[in-house]
Amino acid sequence: MSKAQTATSAPPGAKASTYSFQQPPKPVGNDGKYRDPFAAQKSDANGKQQGNLMSDRRVVRGNTYAAQVLPLSAQAELQRAEQQAASERKRQLQASKKPSSADAGALTQKRSATPEPVDGRKHMDMQTEQFLEELKDKADEVTQETQTDPMLDRPPTPKYVPFKTGRDQETQIQEGELFIFDAEVDPILDVLVGKTLEQAMLEVMQEEEVEAMRRQQVDFEQRRKEEVLEMQRLEAAEKRKFEEKERRKKQEVARIRRERETREKLCARMFAKSYLSNLENRVFARLEDEGWFFDAVEREVELDFLPWVLDQMDKELDKHRRARRVTDELIRAAIEQA
């Protein structure tokens, strides 16, 4: 039984191409629990060494910043190629430097001599070839490997015994020459008790000093709080005084503005009163002079009586005309009948 995988891919309008891959099944090997440290030295069934970077000749060892060292055969070939290239360039240069006899004179005439260098400078020969030769001061190095003996265990370090100096001496001590406890303990005890009492007194004095410092700190904090409250009270009083002063200034400005407006109104009223005091008489006099005022009886006669009289006269004249017309018709009829 085999496993097959097929993939088909073709652009629109082209023939479909098929790719097939078949791999026969094989059993999976049993991997060990731990890695074999000598696996790099083992080979597979075909006799090839298994992949290991430590045994691969293509891996560069040593300092990677230094120049790569080529084998002797590669170095010899590189030197021969460089010598051939140098000889070819030299031959081409000599061939290009040999002008014809006809052009020699013209070239000599055209070529100008190199001017003399200025003060502080001088002429120097420079390499103008296309390929430059690198000069290295460091000699070529070759890395070699060697097999050393396996590491041996270090022997145990001997115990350090200091070197003995001086000479041994002996002293004979008679009975009664050593320390007498009953005679010598009193001054030592006095010193211990005195030191203990002194230390206790120092500790008590230190505690009292700390307590006094604490009370002084509390008093200082209390005075500081009182000063802060007093400062806030003074700032509040000063703020109230400033606000009162600003309010009084605004009131004074408003009072002055009202007085000015009142004074202006009073002046305007007095001027208007003085101007309008005799205005009515002057206006009526001027209107009367211009003919805007008339007699009431005369106006009534003109507007009421005269139109009524004219209407009555028209009515009477109409009556006379009708009577006269009737009379003329009667006369005309009588004449016709006669």
Cα gap 188→196, rounded to integer Å: 12
23: β partners: 3
- For residue 142, what are its two tokens? 């070759």
Average pLDDT of the chain is 77
CB atoms within 10 A of CB 40: 14
Cα angle for residues 249, 250, 254 (degrees, 5° grid): 115
Cα gap 222→230, rounded to integer Å: 12
Exposed, middle or buried, 145 (CB in 10 Å: 0-12/13-18/19+)? exposed
pLDDT given at position 238: 94
Extract the residue ranges of the chain whose pLDDT is less than 50: 1-17, 40, 44-48
pLDDT given at position 12: 44
Cα angle for residues 319, 322, 328 (degrees, 5° grid): 140
pLDDT given at position 51: 59
pLDDT given at position 224: 93
Q: 């097959």: which residue's tokens?
A: 4
pLDDT given at position 111: 52
